Amino acid sequence: MKTNNLTVLADLYGCPNRCKHCWLGHMPNREMPNNSDKQIVEYFKSYFRSVTFYSWVREPDYCENYVERWQRDIQISVNAKPQRFELASFWRLVRDKNYVRFLKSVDVNTVQLTFFGTEKMTDCYVGRKGAYQELLQATEILIEHQIAPRWQVFINAENTPNIMDLLAYSKELKLSERCKAFGRDFSFFVHSGSCDGENRKLYPLRINKEDIPVELIPYYINFSEAKTEADLCRALANDGSCFTYHNESEITLNIANSFDVYFNFTHMRPEWKIGNILNDDSGELVSKIINADIPALKIARNTPVSALVKRFGNPLSHKIFDCVDDYKAYLLNEMITYSLSCHRTHGKP
Ligand code: SF4
C-alpha cells in the first residue's frame, strides 16, 4: 500500500545568483532536457500516494515561460497541487513587467528578498554586481502592486555596520508605513543562517553572539534562543543521543540537473546523494529513500552528539548558532566529511 506523499523539487533551470550563504550549495546552471519533468514524476509515481512536482529547487520562475511552467507543474503533479510560497525571483521582477502581475494572480501577498548589508556587501554576497540595486527596485515594484516585501538579512562578522546602514535606509524609505497603507506589514529580520552548504565555508566569519549590536537585537529572530558555540558544547558534552534526520509520511526530495537525488535535509553534496534517476532502478532508489539508507545517515545514526562535540566542537568559541539543531547539523556535516574522506583514503572510517 502506498502510504507516503512525495514532493520533488527539480533544478530544471538553475539560478542567476551565487549567494555565499546558499544552503543548497553552488551548482552549475544547466537546463534539463525537455520532458525531464514527466520522466521524474513517472519514475516515482507508482511508489507514492501523491507526487507534488516543482520545476525549481533554486530560483522560482527563472524560465522565460514561467506562466505555462506553473500550469505544467500543477498538471503533472499526481493527487496533489503545488503551492506558491513567499518566494519569487527578484532577477525576473526587474526584467519582466508582467511577472509581478503573475505573482498577484497566484495570490502571492508577501515576497522575501535577501540582503547582506548595503550595495557593496550585498553584491559581493549575492555573487553579482547590480544585485543590491535590483533588490531595491524589486521592493518598489512589489509595493506598487500591493505585495509586501520582507527583507531577510544574513549577518556575520564583516557586514554588521552595513546592516545598521540598511536598517536605517529601510526606515528612510518608509517601507513599514507604505505597506501599512495597503494593509500589509513590511518586515526586516536578521539571522545567521544554518552552517551547511556554502554558509559552512563562512564558519570563520560567523559572528560572536556578544558582537550583535543592541540596535539589531529586536530584529534578530529568536535572539534569546540563540546560543554561543561554547554554550552548546557545554550543554551537549554528555548527550548520548544521535542527531539524525527522519522521513515521516511526507517526503521531500531535491533533484539536481544531473538527475542526482537528495533528501532536502541539508546541502546537496555527494555524501548526501541517494542515487540517480537515469542510472538507478527506481525500486532500489525508493527503498533507500524509505529506509534512509545512505552512508551519511548511517554515520548520523551511529555517532552520539557527545562524540561530535568532542571531535569537532570548539568550547572556546562565542560564534552564534540560532538553534541547537543548526549546531548539531554543522558538527554532523564535519563528521561526515571527515569519515567519508578517511574511507576514501584508507578504505574505512
Ligand atoms: S540562496 Fe537561492 S538565490 Fe542564492 S544561490 Fe542559492 S538558490 Fe540561488
Q: What is the CATH number for 78?
A: 3.20.20
E-only strand ranges, the chain:
5-10, 50-54, 110-115, 148-154, 187-191, 227-228, 250-255, 260-263, 273-276, 320-321
Residue 10 φ/ψ, nearest 5 degrees:
-110, 135
What's this model's pTM, rounded to 2 decimal places?
Answer: 0.94
Q: Is 18 in the pocket of ligand 1 (CB under 6 A)?
A: yes
CA of 24 to the centre of ligand 1 (A): 8
Distance CA 227, CA 192 (A): 12
Predicted local confidence at residue 347, as pLDDT = 54
Q: Is 335 in the pocket of ligand 1 (CB under 6 A)?
A: no
In a domain, 213, yes or no: yes
Predicted local confidence at residue 201, as pLDDT = 95
**Cβ proximity of 4 and 250 under 8 Å:** yes
Closest CA to 92 of 10, 1, 14: 14
CA of 201 to the centre of ligand 1 (A): 15
Share of the chain above pLDDT 90, in %: 92
pLDDT at 349 over 50: no
In a domain, 56, yes or no: yes
Predicted local confidence at residue 247, as pLDDT = 81
In a domain, 235, yes or no: no
**Grid coordinates given for 143:** 509595493
Q: How many domains does the chain contain in total?
A: 1
Tell me the pLDDT tens digit for each residue of 283-300. Answer: 999 999 999 999 999 999
pLDDT at 348 over 70: no
Q: Is 19 in the pocket of ligand 1 (CB under 6 A)?
A: yes
Calculate mean pLDDT across residues 166-176: 98
For 251, the domain range is 5-226+247-289
Q: Is 15 in the pocket of ligand 1 (CB under 6 A)?
A: yes
In a domain, 331, yes or no: no
Test site for ligand 1: of 13, 24, 266, most ligand atoms within 8 A of the Cβ: 24
Test site for ligand 1: of 56, 58, 116, most ligand atoms within 8 A of the Cβ: 58
**Other Cβ atoms closer than 10 A to 97:** 9
Calculate mean pLDDT across residues 216-223: 97
Distance CA 253, CA 64 (A): 25
Residue with CA nearest ligand 1 atom 7: 58
Tell me the pLDDT tens digit for each residue of 94-126. Answer: 999 999 999 999 999 999 999 999 999 999 999
* Distance (Å) of CA 314 to CA 52, 229, 265: 41, 7, 24
The pLDDT confidence band at residue 2, using thresholds 50, 70 and 90, is confident
Closest CA to 305 of 229, 247, 244: 244
Predicted local confidence at residue 266, as pLDDT = 87
Q: Is 57 in the pocket of ligand 1 (CB under 6 A)?
A: no
**Cβ proximity of 189 and 154 under 8 Å:** no
Calculate mean pLDDT across residues 79-88: 97
CA of 322 to the centre of ligand 1 (A): 20
In a domain, 151, yes or no: yes
Contacts of 151 (CB under 8 A, 6+ apart): 112, 113, 114, 115, 139, 166, 170, 175, 186, 187, 188, 189
Predicted local confidence at residue 250, as pLDDT = 94
